Amino acid sequence: MAALCPSCHKPAGPRPGNKSAPFCSPRCRQVDLGRWLGEEYRVPDRPLDAEPEQPRPASAPAQDEDGR
């Protein structure tokens, strides 16, 4: 059974002979790992202690009070 490298989709050798299994090479392993970390770090960190912006009612009627 030939496992395919998750990174480049080439046949990757089994573990005893292939230290980077299930990847075909250490490089592919790094690539996949980097992709993983990249996606994690891509999560935008927003300040938790920032006050949530209050949505203003768009249908707020402009009150025109004419003086009598």
Q: Is residue 8 at the binding interface for Zn ion, with CB under 5 A as the rule?
A: yes
CA 54 to chain centroid: 28
Please enumerate in sequence order all residues whose Cβ is within 8 A of that of 2, keeping only pairs 6 or more positions apart, or say none: 11, 12
Residue 7 beta carbon to Zn ion: minimum distance, rounded to whole angstroms:
4
CB-nearer residue toward Zn ion: 17 or 28: 28
Which spans in 1-68 are helix H? Answer: 26-41
Site string for Zn ion, 16-55 (x = CB under 5 A): --------x---x---------------------------
Scan for tokens 């990174």, then name that residue: 7
Q: Applying CB under 5 A, which residues contact Zn ion?
A: 5, 7-8, 24, 28
